[in-house]
Structure 1
Amino acid sequence: MNGNDRAITGIASLAHGAVHTYEMTIPLFVVVWLTEFDAIPLGVTSVDVTTATVGVVVTLGYGLFGLGALPGGILVDRVGSRRLISACLLGMGLSYVLLGLAPNMLVVAAALVLWGIAASVYHPAGLSLISKGVEERGTGLAYHGMAGNLGIGLGPLAATVMLLFVEWRTVALVLGAPAVLAAVYAARADFDETAAVAESGAAADGGSKATSGVDDLGEFLAESRRLLAGGFVLVFVVVMCSGLYYRGVLTFLPELLRDLPGFEPISVDALLPESVRSAFGVEPGAGQTLKPQDYFYSGLLLVGVVGQYAGGKLTDRMPVEYGLAGSFGVLAVLAVLFVPVSEAGLGPLVVLGALLGAFLFVVQPMYQATVAEYTPSGTRGLSYGFTYLGVFGVGALGGTIAGGILAVANATALFLVLAGIAAVGSVTGLVLARRAG
């Protein structure tokens, strides 16, 4: 990678890790909010703080995180990635500062809304920047994806450790400060956003706006029709399958693991000597336990770092269409095997979990690179906006689908449905490969 590649990859990776650190830290605070706050003030009235009302508050932030990707993609093509990434980092940092100062749940809701709006622009901005500015695109996507996985796994872990020593407001303030500093750095960093766009790109775009994005609703509709009338519509199917499978597997995975042999709670008293228990504030006989399923879950996500790197490297060495077909095929097989393997013992399940964690994330740099190959450079931000509308927006339904299946059936039915979703992704990859061939 040359100097420009490294500068862009560094900025994008920093912001990507921050986005997912904040995303996955919010659930840690939910437990505290349920005990600290009694009501949500709404002017002339108020509502009780319950799991339902806090769930609505959190959904506001997560919902905007997905829904804002499409307008964020439009903005990327108009104002450039650098400005939006800087604004994203600044907005996320300030949202966590506001969270740390929140006197009640209404301000907490406002902070989460601010976070959702700010974070929503990142994926179209960051991926557009890599696709247009990094010559070794696959390698850039690999490092970018690894940084996101480190944020997913290590960010909440760091927050968990801090919560042992300070209150949640202090943790929020500590987490918010680095993003504000990173925003200043991103705004001042020296790199060329379009270094990897070929001079002939305008001609290759087939008449689409190649340099300036969309100016109004008419052009938005025209460019959207152009995208969805070509190969990108198949790419959109692939990203929806990825999002549905991802949320469908992960949303209830800790709950599914909880009753399996080998995942019984472990008493902290049995693991830690007296000096360590005192340092961490663990009272003898308090009944505090470690939940093995949570650590299995975190480990699975951290294995995704390897998957991201491998997937990114593979995009530079093979047609991405075949890579998608093969990776989704593996995910389908893993889904079919999950229940019987989980009944075979902890050792086989650990192996399957490692493979699942890797292949969940192998597909991400592959479909990100596929978007770049099937869309014009001038509307790349719009393309990634549609992409993450599919991944985070449509994909969010994976949790609902999983919950509904588990409510009326069992884990076997759930994983068979997930295998079917992966099979659709695999077949779509083959169709794309045939079109490209």
Structure 2
Amino acid sequence: MNRDRLHFLYLNIGHFLDHMFTLIFATVAALALVKEWNLSYGQLLAYATPGFFAFGLFSYPAGWLADKWSRDGMMAVFFVGIGIASIATGFAQTPLQIGIGLFVVGVLAAIYHPVGLAMVTAKWKNTGMRLAVNGVWGNLGVASAALLTGYLIDNAGWRSAFFIPGAISIVIGIFYTVSRWQDIVADRKPAAAPVAGPPMSADLKALLLRISIIVFCTTAVSSIIFQATTFSLPKIFDERLRGVAASFSAWLESLGFPGNADIATMIGAFAFVVFAVASMAQLVVGKFLDVVGPRPVFMVVATMQLIFFFLMPGLKDGLAFAAALGFMLGAFGQIPINDYMIGKVASGEARARVYGVRYVVSFTSLAAALPLIAFVYENWGFDVLFRILSAAALVILLAVSLLPRKLPVAA
């Protein structure tokens, strides 16, 4: 494997781990701690909220440090640091301790998106497809958080779900640091001052302002949708697919499945299937971004979400699984679109910082979604949440209709 391919593989693994670490607690809370610590699901979500705010608020400082110091150096800090933080979180004995651990995980998780995505969009051609492939890895991290955590809860206890990925991330970080050491050292040298381009016309400034408003508006709303679906899906399936899960568990046991494939494992497996299949939507989206541009692609995925969120209330078993797959196809499919637009419009020397601002907006919205989930669930249940998310998808669809058919390209 040549050096560029290895680097891209490391960046993809980083995206996988980033999303997996931020969602381990979602399955642990839903399937283990509600029983072990005798707290409600809504109460447990409160301890995850500060970590998601950190995930957003520290994105800009991470991008700034990457631009000023070293993007490769920041990635090395990410791998090793988040691994240590995850292991420490696994030792928590109280809700407050686990909340502190999740906050530190969030601070270190904030590094990946402004740094890793800036490297992907700056270094390789076919930006749409590269972002899509990278996005699939991130979504498989989302899926694996539910699958692996569920399996580990049944077979080794919930603490192992923090310990094992943490140790793996530290090892990967050591290998990454060794393989990219020359680039880390080279990045310490002062960069040449950027050459100023011609002044922008008033029309171009107005167009860029309109695109920026749409990007950040859709980023905020789509982040609420993404968090509400990915974080709560294990709990949704625990309520609506529990009978199916019990049947599959008994079937696997009759086949002599190794280990204990109990309800938690099956719920995690159902969530993994939905997340993994839905993540493939990004490959289709990435292909069409390079061919037809972001506007028509974005309108299609927003429409998908609107339809399936509207259909989901009241559904159970197979129909609930099918509707969940439908809205997750839309939720995952939209992820690379705003990153694609930023990569095309933002100038290279400030790209990591622009991505930092984008993810401050995105992950702060992610954090805001947790109190929303808790409040709506505790008072009305998930059906009302689905109706709220359907309205959010409509807002995205209306905003995207205002995008220009062709994006201006950064000088």
Same fold (TM over 0.5): yes
Name the CA distance, whole Å, in 1 between partners of 2:275 and 2:28: 20
1:184 to 174, 180, 194: 174
Structure 1 residue 392 corresponds to structure 2 residue 363: yes
Task: Please point out which of 55, 68, 90 is paired with 1:65.
Answer: 55
Superposition RMSD in Å: 3.9
Matched, 1:130 2:120: yes
Match for residue 236 of structure 1? 216
Matched, 1:352 2:323: yes
Aligned residues: 395
Evaluate the alpha carbon distance shift between residue 320 and residue 113 of structure 1 in structure 2; reply closer, same or farther with a 3 A threshold: same
Instruction: Tell me, yes or no, if structure 1 residue 364 matches structure 2 residue 335.
Output: yes
Query: Which of 1 and 2 has higher RCO (CA within 8 Å, sep 6+)?
Result: 2
CA drift at 1:90: 1.0
Secondary structure of 1:58's counterpart equals: helix
Residue 326 of structure 1: which of 300, 303, 307 is its match? 300
* Superposed displacement of residue 111, structure 1: 3.1
**Matched residue, 1:76:** 66
Deviates more, 1:166-175 or 1:119-128: 166-175
The one-character-per-residue Cα deviations of 1:388-430 (angstroms, maximum 9, x if unpaired) are 2222212433344455455666766543432332222222222
- Structure 1: distance between partners of 2:101 and 2:71: 24
Q: 1:298 to 1:410 in 2, by over 3 A?
A: same
Residue 76 of structure 2, aligned match among 83, 86, 91: 86
Q: CA deviation at 1:148?
A: 0.9
Indicate the SS of the match to 2:346.
coil
Larger gyration radius, structure 1 or structure 2: 1
- Judge conservation of contact 1:248–1:398 (CA < 8 Å) in 2: yes
Question: Which stretch shifts more, 398-407 or 122-131?
Answer: 398-407
Which residue of structure 2 lines up, in the alignment, with residue 10 of structure 1?
A: 9
TM-score of the two chains, using structure 1 as the length reference: 0.75
Instruction: Answer whether contact 2:91 2:159 (CA < 8 A) is retained.
Output: yes
CA gap of 1:77–1:161, structure 2 versus 1, over 3 A, is same
Deviates further, 114-123 or 293-302:
293-302
Q: Helix, strand or coil for the counterpart of 1:425?
A: helix
Asked if structure 2 preserves the Cα contact closer than 8 Å seen for 1:246 and 1:398, the reply is no
CA distance in 2, matches of 1:327, 1:304: 12
The secondary structure found in structure 1 opposite 2:291 is coil
1-structure distance, mates of 2:384, 2:42: 27
> What does residue 285 of structure 2 align with?
311
Q: Secondary structure at the match of 1:271?
A: helix
- The aligned counterpart of 2:389 is 418
Distance in 1 of aligned mates of 2:159 and 2:371: 31
Give SS of 1:433's match.
coil
Q: Give the drift of 1:162.
A: 3.6
| Structure 1 unaligned blocks of 5 or more | 39-48, 208-224, 283-287
Counterparts of 1:18-417 in structure 2, within 5 Å, are 18-30=17-29, 55-101=45-91, 108-190=98-180, 203=196, 229=209, 231-253=211-233, 255-256=235-236, 263=243, 266=246, 270-273=250-253, 276=256, 280=259, 289=263, 295-339=269-313, 342=315, 347-405=318-376, 413-417=384-388
Moved more, 185-194 or 362-371: 185-194
Instruction: Output the CA distance in 2 between the equivalents of 1:3 and 1:182.
Output: 18
Amino acid across the alignment from 1:366:
I
Contact 1:150 1:302 in 2 (8 A): yes
TM-score relative to the length of structure 2: 0.80
Q: Over residues 168-223 of structure 1, what are the superposed CA-to-partner deviations in whole Å (9 max), with x where a residue is unaligned?
A: 445533222221122122223359899xxxx9x9556958xxxxxxxxxxxxxxxx
CA–CA distance in structure 2, aligned partners of residues 74 and 348 of structure 1: 46
Query: For the Cα contact (< 8 Å) 2:114–2:352, is it kept in 1?
Result: yes
Q: Distance in 2 between matches of 1:36 and 1:411?
A: 24
Amino acid in structure 2 at the alignment position of 1:78: K
* Aligned twin of 2:189: none
SS at match of 1:25: helix
2:244–2:317 CA contact under 8 A, matched in 1: no
Q: Does the aligned pair in 1 maintain the 2:139–2:275 contact within 8 Å?
A: yes
Q: Deviations over 1:208-262 (max 9, x none)?
A: xxxxxxxxxxxxxxxxx99994632221112112112223344545555566588
Q: Per-residue CA shift, 1:273-306, capped at 9, x if unaligned?
A: 57948x6469xxxxx6569765443322121221
Give CA-to-partner distance per residue, 1:129-151, whole Å, 9 cap, x none.
11111222222212211111121
Shift of 1:54: 5.0
**Residues 96 and 172 in structure 1, CA contact (< 8 A), matched pair in contact too:** yes
More helix by share: 2
Gap regions ≥5 residues in structure 2 = 187-191
Shift of 1:314: 2.0
